[in-house]
């Protein structure tokens, strides 16, 4: 009992010596053990406000387009047999995420994204790896000039997101836990996605609504509660918008 013993000796001295509670009726202290101090960050809610502005969204898309330009310079066959390069912002995959994808026939795609979340948004710098599957039942190719593009008015998808941090658990728990199944894995999260894709300047732009799987479960159990407390039939409470660009080779 190392913690208890160490504290015990300190506390024993304080049994009688502890100062009496005087002054204001309220005393509060934060026991911040286990939490590194947070560094400079945006004011609370600033990220959400930023995201809610259409002009900011446009800026993010332009920024994403700039990021994708080097990918368009790749050989036509792509590396590792890839069919396109992709960048995305939001939708739980990162402030910005970039990667490559494969077309599996006319209606199916998979892609993988490496995402970055700066500490100005979450309080911690975090890298994430995402695998996405998309089903495009209405996809048509060959639109626009200057590149192979795709139009897909409505598609469905699924993402598996891995967060890389010592604070997130994958595999065995730390030894202080009584059994390895004390908690489920915390390093993986999944989302269910619905989106639309359209040609834009020789590339394919897409917008998605991505719902966290735990949110889908909670919504399924209590749809009325979500509808009463959040916008968009309650879907605001369980998911996020996402915007991205794909450059097909």
Partner 1 sequence: MPSGRALSLLLVLALGLAAPSCRYSPWETDPDCTDKPGKNLASLALREAGGSDVRIALLTDSHNNVDRLDEVVSWINARGDIDFVIVLGDITNQGLLLEYEWACTGLRDLNAPRFYTIGNHDAISFGKEVFREMFGPYDLAFRFRNSRFILYNANKFEFSGVPDYDFIAAAAAVAGGETRIHTVAFSHVPPEVDVYTQAEVDFEEAFMAANGVDFTVHGHRDVYSLVQDGFGTRHLIVPSVERAYYSVLTLTAGDAVTVETCQDTCTTRASW
Please, what's the largest Cα pairwise distance for the chain? 82
DSSP 139-208: -EE--SSSSB-EEEEEEEEEEEEEEE-TTS--SSPPTTSSSTTSS--SSEEEEEEEEEEEEETTEEEEEE
Residues 179 to 238 in contact with partner 1, rule: CB under 8 A: 182-184, 186, 189, 196-199, 207, 209, 212, 214-215, 218, 221-222, 224-226, 229, 231-232, 235-238
Pick from 45, 75, 81, 171: which binds partner 1 (CB under 8 A)?
A: 45
- In terms of CB distance, is 74 or 241 closer to partner 1? 241
- In terms of CB distance, is 92 or 248 closer to partner 1? 92
Contact 116, 94 (CB under 8 A): yes
Q: Is 22 in the site for partner 1 (CB under 8 A)?
A: yes
Instruction: Say whether 97 sits in a helix, a strand or coil.
Output: strand
- In terms of CB distance, is 77 or 225 closer to partner 1? 225
Pick from 71, 98, 161, 203: which binds partner 1 (CB under 8 A)?
A: 161
Q: Is 59 in the site for partner 1 (CB under 8 A)?
A: no
Q: Is 248 in the site for partner 1 (CB under 8 A)?
A: no
- In terms of CB distance, is 69 or 165 closer to partner 1? 165
Q: What are the contacts of 184-191 at 24+ separation with CB within 8 A?
A: 187/162, 187/163, 188/160, 188/161, 188/162, 188/163, 189/92, 189/160, 189/161, 189/163, 189/213, 189/214, 190/158, 190/159, 190/160, 190/161, 191/91, 191/92, 191/158, 191/159, 191/161, 191/239
Residues 86 to 145 in contact with partner 1, rule: CB under 8 A: 89-95, 115, 117, 121-124, 126, 128, 138, 140, 143
Q: Is 30 in the site for partner 1 (CB under 8 A)?
A: yes
Taking CB under 8 A as the rule, which mask of x and - marks residues 66-85 in contact with partner 1? Answer: --------------------
Which element (helix H / strand E) includes 217? helix 213-221
Q: Is 171 in the site for partner 1 (CB under 8 A)?
A: no
> How far apart are CB 66 and partner 1 at their closest, in Å?
19
> How far apart are CB 219 and partner 1 at their closest, in Å?
9
d(CA 96, CA 118): 9
Q: Is 157 in the site for partner 1 (CB under 8 A)?
A: no
């Amino acid at each position: 009992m190392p913690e208890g013993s160490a504290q015990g000796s300190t506390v024993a001295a304080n049994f009688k010596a502890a100062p009496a509670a005087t002054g204001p009726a309220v005393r509060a202290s934060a026991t911040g053990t286990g939490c590194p101090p947070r560094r400079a960050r945006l004011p609370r809610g600033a990220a959400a406000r930023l995201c809610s502005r259409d002009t900011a969204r446009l800026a993010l898309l332009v920024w994403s387009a700039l990021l994708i330009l080097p990918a368009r310079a790749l050989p036509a066959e792509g590396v590792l047999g890839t069919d396109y390069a992709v960048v995305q912002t939001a939708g739980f995959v990162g402030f910005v995420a970039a990667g490559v994808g494969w077309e599996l026939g006319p209606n199916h795609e998979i892609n993988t994204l490496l995402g970055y979340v700066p500490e100005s948004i979450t309080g911690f710098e975090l890298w994430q790896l995402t695998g996405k599957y998309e089903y495009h039942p209405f996809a048509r190719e060959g639109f626009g000039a200057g590149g192979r593009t795709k139009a897909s008015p409505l598609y469905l998808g699924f993402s598996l997101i891995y967060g890389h941090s010592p604070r997130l658990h994958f595999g065995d728990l730390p030894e202080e836990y009584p059994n390895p199944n004390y908690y489920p894995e915390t390093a993986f999260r999944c989302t269910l996605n619905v989106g639309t894709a359209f040609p834009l300047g020789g590339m394919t732009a897409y917008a998605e609504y991505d719902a966290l799987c735990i949110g889908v479960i909670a919504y399924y159990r209590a749809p009325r509660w979500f509808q009463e407390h959040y916008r968009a039939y309650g879907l605001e409470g369980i998911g996020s918008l996402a915007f991205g660009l794909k450059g097909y080779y």
